């Protein structure tokens, strides 16, 4: 089967169906870690599925190689490989997938997102140089390409920025208070808002508090259902600060081991978390830690839970941000506003992030 024959025999509809299946396969891989979740479907020249594969974690076969391993020698000649991520072009614990596809005789590759890695990128060029037809998914279906990008968003962000994506959350009254004058803060918001917080905790790789909040509130930092049971996925607890974590603190009984960082160099701390496989960090409290992330420019999304109450007094949700004048205010876009029981959730993203998105060619994978 020649490459040109494979091009005419594999229809775009088959490509799209295969990419959706590849996404399902990718979701079977580990959500946490330094490696992306990738799925691959191998199609015959008539568009039928020959084999499927996915990446099961660091040190295991990549999705393309996993799929190829299920075929006899020669069975992949003239096939189309539909992969959620551009085939890698480097040797790590495993060999380059671009070479494996070439050696197997694959005639065409459709990939969902370009690999932004300095070492791993270049697979598409290597495949083209070997005479393989390479099709970025956005050339066929931009909406589906966006879906694949969204699936890989946390991993892509971490690779591009060498740090996790950071979500900063707080709950406050309408006048911006996170606690009453006596320090009490449970509960500013209602049950629906708290349930939403726990759901978002479970979506994150890690959850962070400062030692001040840890010592004052003794939080468990777990993600729990409304009945108190632990949810299936638990974020890794991260404590920022130099004060000692007490041996009997509730967080020491967390299903995941505690990571403590001194917080003096947030950029270095975040880079370390990224190297440990943390792609998303949920910064939960308190005001000192939230303010530090905001002042350093490390807040990629804000989640502000607003209760219809007033407290007054000094206990603000945020402290000093290093903003001397209104002209230097940290500006955000409202991404969403949601009613949760009696409370409101405001989701906001930095204006600078919007400007970067607007300046980027939406057809580019990187």
For residue 92, the model assigns a pLDDT of: 65
317, 349: one domain: yes
Please say which residue of 130, 156, 182 terminates a domain.
156
117, 236: one domain: no
For strands 301-307 and 343-350, give the pairing: antiparallel
Residue 145: inside a domain: yes
For residue 93, the model assigns a pLDDT of: 64
For residue 346, the model assigns a pLDDT of: 97
Query: What gap in Å lies between CA 10 and CA 222, rounded to an integer?
Result: 47
For residue 358, the model assigns a pLDDT of: 40
The H or E element containing residue 274 is: helix 266-275
For residue 8, the domain's CATH number is 3.40.140.10
108, 79: one domain: yes
- Asked which of 16-25, 125-134, 178-187, 241-250 is least confident by mean pLDDT, the reply is 178-187
Radius of gyration of the chain (CA): 24
For residue 342, the model assigns a pLDDT of: 95
209, 330: one domain: yes
Query: What gap in Å lies between CA 262 and CA 250, rounded to an integer?
Result: 20
For residue 278, the model assigns a pLDDT of: 93
pLDDT tens, position by position, 59-92: 889 999 999 999 999 999 999 999 999 998 876 6
Question: Rounded to an integer, what is the distance from CA 53 to the centroid of its chain?
Answer: 22
Residue 4 has pLDDT above 50, yes or no: no
For residue 257, the domain's CATH number is 3.40.430.10
pLDDT tens, position by position, 179-224: 888 777 778 899 999 999 999 999 999 999 999 889 988 999 999 9
Instruction: Report CA dihedral (253, 257, 260, 266) to the nearest 10 degrees.
Output: -130
61, 201: one domain: no
Are 112 and 36 a contacting pair, CB within 8 Å?
Answer: no
In which domain, by residue range, is 83 found? 3-156
The pTM assigned to this predicted structure is: 0.81
Based on the structure, what is the number of domains in the chain? 2
Residue the block writes with tokens 């109450």: 309
Share of the chain above pLDDT 90, in %: 70
The CA-CA-CA angle for residues 322, 328, 333, to 5°, reads: 105
For residue 361, the model assigns a pLDDT of: 35
24, 148: one domain: yes
236, 336: one domain: yes
pLDDT tens, position by position, 328-342: 889 999 999 999 999
Q: Is 64 a catalytic residue?
A: yes
Residue 366: inside a domain: no
182, 71: one domain: no
Among the options 24, 52, 64, 99, which is catalytic?
Answer: 64
Q: What is the mean pLDDT of the chain?
A: 88
């Amino acid at each position: 089967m020649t490459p040109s024959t494979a091009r005419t025999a594999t229809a775009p509809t088959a490509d799209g169906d295969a990419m959706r299946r590849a996404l399902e396969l990718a979701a079977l891989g580990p959500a946490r870690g330094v490696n992306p979740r990738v799925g691959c479907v191998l199609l015959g020249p008539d568009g039928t599925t020959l084999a499927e594969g996915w990446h099961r974690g660091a040190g295991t076969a990549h999705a393309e190689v996993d799929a190829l391993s299920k075929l006899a020698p020669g069975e992949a000649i003239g096939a189309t490989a539909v992969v959620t991520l551009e085939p890698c072009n480097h040797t790590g614990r495993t060999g380059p997938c671009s070479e494996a596809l070439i050696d197997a005789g694959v005639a065409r590759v459709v990939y969902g997102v370009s690999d932004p890695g300095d070492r791993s990128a270049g697979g598409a060029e290597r495949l083209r140089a070997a005479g393989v037809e390479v099709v970025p998914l956005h050339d066929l279906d931009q909406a589906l390409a966006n879906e694949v990008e969204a699936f890989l968003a946390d991993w892509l962000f971490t690779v591009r920025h060498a740090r996790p994506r950071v979500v900063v959350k707080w709950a406050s009254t309408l006048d911006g208070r996170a606690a009453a004058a006596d320090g009490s803060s449970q509960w500013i918001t209602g049950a629906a808002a708290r349930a939403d917080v726990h759901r978002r905790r479970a979506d994150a790789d890690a959850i962070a508090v400062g030692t001040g909040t840890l010592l004052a509130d003794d939080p468990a930092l777990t993600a729990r259902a409304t009945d108190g049971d632990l949810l299936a996925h638990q974020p890794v607890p991260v404590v920022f600060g130099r004060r000692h974590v007490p041996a009997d603190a509730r967080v020491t009984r967390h299903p995941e081991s505690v990571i403590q960082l001194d917080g003096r160099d947030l950029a270095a701390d975040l880079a370390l978390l990224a190297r440990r496989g943390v792609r998303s960090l949920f910064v939960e409290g308190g005001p000192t830690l939230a303010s530090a992330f905001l002042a350093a420019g490390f807040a990629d999304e804000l989640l502000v839970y607003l209760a219809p109450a007033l407290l007054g007094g000094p206990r603000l949700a945020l402290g000093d941000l290093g903003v001397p004048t209104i002209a230097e205010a940290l500006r955000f876009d409202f991404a969403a506003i949601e009613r949760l029981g009696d409370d409101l959730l405001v989701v906001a993203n930095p204006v600078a992030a919007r400007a970067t998105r607007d300046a980027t060619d939406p057809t580019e994978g990187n």
